[in-house]
Structure 1
Amino acid sequence: MKQVLLDLAITLDGFIEGPNGETDWCIMDDDMDFDGFLSGIDTIFYGRISYDAWGNYLPEENATPEEQKLWEAVHSKNKFVFSSQHREDKNATFINTDIIERVSEIKKQGGKDIWLYGGASLITTFIQNNLIDVYRISVHPIALGSGKPLFEDLKERLNLKLIKTNVFKSGVVQLIYTSDS
């Protein structure tokens, strides 16, 4: 069965974006093997705001071949958008009811894993409903002091089990956990 993977960059002080939505502090090193991560998934879950910003993003013409290849890989995946909006979109399926049931159905379809891309409110919904199987949290060596925290409005403790740690040349430390429930 597919697993839902939260693969996310956070700051040392626990923010997933700055106070104005900025993510310019995120580091992408070649030793992070993001291509390997993308090859292990065939589906991406987006919130509507994240989908509108990134779901059909096209790099500029002068983008590096690596960046163009990365976005081609992202756009080759099945896309599901969780939103209260009803919308027809040729590139994605919109889901606006029965989130837990729909996620369960998608996980049972077989194939590769699912990347829970975000945004913040969708991640919170998935955490609160215990829908994340693997947390891949990449802690970046910067503190912002304010912004959007990863773990917001938790209703109860979230017990996780550390299964792997990766340290990258940039100083980013990736912590991989499974849900301990």
Structure 2
Amino acid sequence: MRPCTRRTSRRTRRSRTSCSWGSDGPTVTRPLVLIVTTSLDGFIAETDGGVGWLAPPPASTPADYDELVASIDTLVMGSATYLASLDLAGGTEIFSGKRVCVFTSREGLPATAGVEFVQEPAEEFVPRLKEEPGGSIWLFGGGKLATALSDAGLVDEYLVAVQPILLGDGIPLWRTPHARTRLELVAARAWPGGIAELRYRRRP
């Protein structure tokens, strides 16, 4: 099969639909979108998992960002990200009404409504997930899972909010070595507090 994409307007900046070609023509798949916040030097958390360095969220967000989040009905993440969400006040509010798939080899993780624990490799599970009916899929973290899915060519869009801070050390977004992946810039804009939002899509 060869990949294909159905692009949407750059003005709306909505998440596109991706597809692949089979013997019967194109098969529409759900887009997998990485939405993540990093420091300027590429870390998603301090070495102990702390995120106290993050700027407070803005009082309001752009309409197209709200539309993107509203289009999501499934989240995928690693176990460390899941546990960190449980520890944060309001950290699981985003889970409400959504299917949440946590990839883990651990036993005995705390159960949460709507959360399922997946022990199958993400590179095998996610392609089937993308073929199921539904909305967009949010790659919620962390770095190990993001790297694996990006290297497998499964991430369709990358939305990275860069915080105005150099941590110097911490948990990196991308694990090395990782695959060279060419991207196309879709949008770039500034948010309050000095945050820069960069949005890319994977080139076919």
Structure with more relative contact order (C-alpha pairs < 8 Å, separation 6 or more): 1
SS of residue in 1 equivalent to 2:137 = strand
| d(CA) in 1 for partners of 2:94, 2:106 | 27
Question: Which residue of 1 is the match for residue 77 of structure 2?
Answer: 46
How far 1:85 moved relative to its partner? 3.2
TM-score normalised per structure 2: 0.73
TM-score normalised per structure 1: 0.82
| d(CA) in 1 for partners of 2:152, 2:107 | 22
Question: Aligned residue pairs: how many?
Answer: 171
Q: Match for 1:75 among 96, 100, 115?
A: 96
Question: Which residue of 2 is the match for residue 151 of structure 1?
Answer: 174
SS of residue in 1 equivalent to 2:194 = coil
Question: Which residue of 1 is the match for residue 116 of structure 2?
Answer: 93
Question: Which residue of 1 is the match for residue 61 of structure 2?
Answer: 32
Structure with greater helix percent: 1
CA RMSD of aligned residues (A): 2.4
**Relative to structure 1, is the Cα distance of residues 107 and 86 closer, same or farther in structure 2, using a 3 angstrom cutoff?**
farther
Tell whether the 8 Å contact from 1:86 to 1:96 is kept in structure 2 after alignment. no
Instruction: Provide structure 2 residue ranges, at least 5 long, that are not aligned to the other structure.
Output: 1-28
SS of residue in 2 equivalent to 1:174 = strand
How far 1:153 moved relative to its partner? 1.2
SS of residue in 2 equivalent to 1:137 = strand
Q: Match for 1:23 among 43, 51, 57?
A: 51
Tell whether the 8 Å contact from 1:6 to 1:135 is kept in structure 2 after alignment. yes
How far 1:86 moved relative to its partner? 5.5
